[in-house]
Chains A and B, each alone.
Chain A
Amino acid sequence: MNMSIRLENVNYIYGEGSGQEKWALKNINLAIHDREFIGIVGHTGSGKSTLTQLLNGLEKPSSGTIYYNDEDIQADGYERRKLRQKVGLVFQYPEHQLFEVSVIKDVEFGPRNLGLSNLDVEKRSFDALKQVGLSDDLLDVAPFALSGGQKRRVAIAGVLAMQPEVLILDEPTAGLDPAGRTEILELLKKLHEENNITVILVSHSMDDVARYAGRILVMNQGELVLDGEPQKVFRYRDELRKIGLDVPQSTNILYELRDRGMAVGTEGITPEQAAECIADSLRRQS
C-alpha cells in the first residue's frame, strides 16, 4: 500500500487556557506522499520541530486531524505505538541518546522492544548498520569511542532498524565537518532512492535542501507559507528574506548578476546549475 500523511486544519497551541497561549502551528493543510524527499525550512521557533513531532504521534494537535494511510491517528483504538515505528524520528544531536555498551546493542534496543525473535532483532540491526555504512569491526566498539559523524550514523541506524516507511530528521548535519555533512546527506539520498523510504529533512541550510529535496515546505510563525519544488520556492527571494530566510548562495549570485544588468537565468539552485546559467549567458553574448 502507498504511504501517505495528510494534515487537515491542524493547530497546535501551547498553554491553552492559561491566558498566555502561543500558536505553534496555525491551520496546517498538507499531504505528504509516498517516496517524497521533503525539506522543511524555517528559522528557530517557526513551528518546524512541532510539526515533525505531530507527524509521528509524539504530540497531539490542539485541533484538526492527521491521517496516516487514511486513518485518523488520534482516533480511539488507533495504535500509535505502531505509528512511531512506521514514522521514525531522528532528533537533533541524536548521538547524545546513545547509551548502550556497544554499537550493535544500541541499535538492537529498539527492535528488541517490538517482541521479535533474537534472530530477527540481530538481522535488522546488522542490516541497519550496513545501510548507514558502518564497518563490521565497529559493531562491538563502545559508541562513545566513535567520531561525531560515526555516532550520528549509529543513531540513525537505531531508527532504521525499526524499518520505518518515513524517516524524519531534525538538523542531522549540525556540528559535523563538511565531509561528514555530505556523507549524511548522501546516506539519506541512498535510503530514499534504493530503500524507497520517504525522507523529511528539517534543515537550516538552503544549500542542502536545494541539492537534495524534491519539495520544500517553508514555515514561518506556525504557518506553512510556501510549499513546492525547490526551483519554484526559490523564486520568492523577497518573501523568504522578509521572514529571515534566503535563497541558496548560488541562486543569490545569479540574482546579483541580474540586478547588475546581466541577462542571466536565475533558476539555478546548486553551484553546478548556477555555473551553467552563467556560462550560458556568456556564450549567448559572444
Chain B
Amino acid sequence: MQPIIDAKDLVHEYSRRDEEGNVTGITRALDGVSMQVKQGDLIAVLGANGSGKSTFAKHLNALLTPTEGTLYVGGMECGDHTKDLDIRKTVGMVFQNPDNQIIANVVEEDVGFGPENIGVPTEEIWERVADALKTVGMYEYRLNSPNKLSGGQKQRVAIAGILAMKPKCIILDESTAMLDPGGRKAVIDTITRINKEENITVILITHYMEEVTGADYVYVMDSGKVVMEGMPRDIFARSDELEEFRLAVPEAVRVAMLLREKGIELPKDILDAGELVDAVMKLQA
C-alpha cells in the first residue's frame, strides 16, 4: 500500500533580509528530511524549539512548498500548487493557540465551516458536525459560545472541525503546548481514540515526552534533520542523545535509569510508570 506521507530528501530554505529587503543570507530550515508514514499510524515528531518540526508539518498540508526533494501526500505530489485543495482535504492541521483557530460564535457553526467551504451539501454538513462533535466528546456544547470554553475544549472543537472534513491524516502542531495537564490529557486521549477507531493517521508534534509513549513510531529532529528514529521505548533508552538535542526522557524512565545506576537490575527499555511498577514488583517477589 502506498504511504499516506512520503517525503524524500526534503529541503526548505528561506532568505533572511535586511531592512531594505536585500537578501543577507539563506537559512536551511529543513535539511534532507526523509519520512514514510503508513495510513493509520500514530507518529510523533519530537524536537527542540527551532529544530524544524513545524516547518516540516507545514509542508504536509501545502502551507509551504519544498525547495528541494520530493513530497507525496496521499499519492499527490506537493510543490506545484495544483493539488493544494485536495491535499488540505487529506491532511488537516491543528495549531498551537486555541484562541487563534475558532472563528464562529457558536460551536457547531465553527465545526461546520470547513465542510461548507469544501462544498459538502448542507444536510450532510450537519450530520458530519454532529458526528465529529460526538467523537471529540463536545456534542453537549454544540450550541455554546466557543469563548466560554477551556483551552482543551477549544482544541477538541478545532479537531472536530477537521474531522468534519473527513481527512485521512491529522497533524497536531504543538496543539497541547498552551493547555493545562487536564486539557492536555483530554486532547491526547481524544486523538488516540480517533486514531484507533477511525483509522485516521495522526502526526503528533510536541516536546512533552509523556505524550509520545503511545506512538507507533517516533522521529527526533534537530537543526532541520531527522537525527533519531524508532519505537518510543527504543528512543527513550537513549537518554544521553535526547539531552544533546535539548530533549529529555519521561519521569518514569528517569526513575528507572536512576535505579539501574544504583545497581538495581531493571530492563533497559521501560517506557512508563506502569511498566516500572511491574518490573519493581517482580524484583521484590
| Chain A residues packing against B (C-beta within 8 Å) | 43-45, 147-149, 174-180, 182, 204-205, 207, 244-246, 248-250, 252-253, 256-257, 260, 262, 271-272, 274-275, 278-279, 281-282, 285
Distance in angstroms between the alpha carbons of A275 and B264 in the assembled complex: 10
Taking CB atoms, residues of chain B closer than 8 Å to A285 are 284
Closest Cβ of chain B: how far from A268's Cβ, in Å? 9
Taking CB atoms, residues of chain A closer than 8 Å to B48 are 177-180
**Could you say which of B110-118, B131-139, B161-169, B245-253 contacts chain A?**
B245-253
Tell whether A278 pairs with B150 under 8 Å between CB atoms, given A180-B246, A204-B181. no
Distance in angstroms between the alpha carbons of A281 and B247 in the assembled complex: 31
Within 8 A of A (CB), among B71-107: 96
B197 within 8 A of A: no
Closest Cβ of chain B: how far from A66's Cβ, in Å? 27
Closest Cβ of chain B: how far from A221's Cβ, in Å? 14
Distance in angstroms between the alpha carbons of A274 and B258 in the assembled complex: 9
Q: Top 3 nearest A-B pairs by Cβ distance?
A: A179-B246, A275-B258, A178-B248
Taking CB atoms, residues of chain B closer than 8 Å to A45 are 150
Contact, CB under 8 Å: B273 / A275 = no
| Size class of the contact patch on chain B | 35 or more
Taking CB atoms, residues of chain B closer than 8 Å to A178 are 48, 207, 209, 246-248
User: CB within 8 A of B180: which of A176, A204, A279?
Assistant: A204
Contact, CB under 8 Å: B252 / A253 = yes
B280 within 8 A of A: yes
Distance in angstroms between the alpha carbons of A285 and B280 in the assembled complex: 13
Which chain A residue shows the least CB distance to B258?
A275
20 contacts across the A-B interface (CB closer than 8 A): A149-B49, A177-B48, A178-B247, A179-B48, A179-B247, A207-B251, A246-B181, A249-B250, A252-B273, A253-B255, A253-B277, A256-B273, A256-B277, A271-B254, A274-B255, A275-B255, A278-B255, A279-B262, A282-B284, A285-B284
Contact, CB under 8 Å: A44 / B180 = yes
Tell whether A148 pairs with B254 under 8 Å between CB atoms, given A44-B183, A279-B264. no
Interface string of B263-278 (1 = CB under 8 A from A): 0100000000100110
Taking CB atoms, residues of chain B closer than 8 Å to A244 are 182
Closest Cβ of chain A: how far from B251's Cβ, in Å? 4
Which chain A residue shows the least CB distance to B209?
A178
Contact, CB under 8 Å: A147 / B49 = yes
Within 8 A of A (CB), among B40-84: 47-50
Closest Cβ of chain B: how far from A111's Cβ, in Å? 27
Taking CB atoms, residues of chain A closer than 8 Å to B264 are 278-279, 282
Contact, CB under 8 Å: A278 / B49 = no
Tell whether A148 pairs with B50 under 8 Å between CB atoms, given A177-B246, A207-B251. yes
Closest Cβ of chain A: how far from B139's Cβ, in Å? 22
- Extra inter-chain contacts (18) besides given A147-B50, A275-B262, CB under 8 Å: A43-B180, A44-B180, A148-B50, A174-B178, A175-B178, A177-B49, A179-B246, A180-B246, A204-B180, A246-B181, A249-B250, A257-B277, A271-B255, A271-B258, A274-B255, A279-B259, A279-B262, A281-B284
B140 within 8 A of A: no
Distance in angstroms between the alpha carbons of A43 and B153 in the assembled complex: 14
Contact, CB under 8 Å: A44 / B252 = no
Taking CB atoms, residues of chain B closer than 8 Å to A272 are 258
Taking CB atoms, residues of chain B closer than 8 Å to A148 are 49-50
Taking CB atoms, residues of chain A closer than 8 Å to B246 are 177-180
Which chain B residue shows the least CB distance to A285?
B284
Closest Cβ of chain A: how far from B159's Cβ, in Å? 19
Which chain B residue shows the least CB distance to A45?
B150
B26 within 8 A of A: no
Distance in angstroms between the alpha carbons of A187 and B280 in the assembled complex: 35
Closest Cβ of chain B: how far from A20's Cβ, in Å? 13
Closest Cβ of chain A: how far from B138's Cβ, in Å? 17
Closest Cβ of chain A: how far from B267's Cβ, in Å? 15
User: CB within 8 A of A253: which of B150, B180, B273, B284?
Assistant: B273
Distance in angstroms between the alpha carbons of A204 and B280 in the assembled complex: 29
Taking CB atoms, residues of chain A closer than 8 Å to B146 are none
Tell whether A282 pairs with B283 under 8 Å between CB atoms, given A174-B177, A271-B258. yes
Distance in angstroms between the alpha carbons of A137 and B262 in the assembled complex: 43
B31 within 8 A of A: no
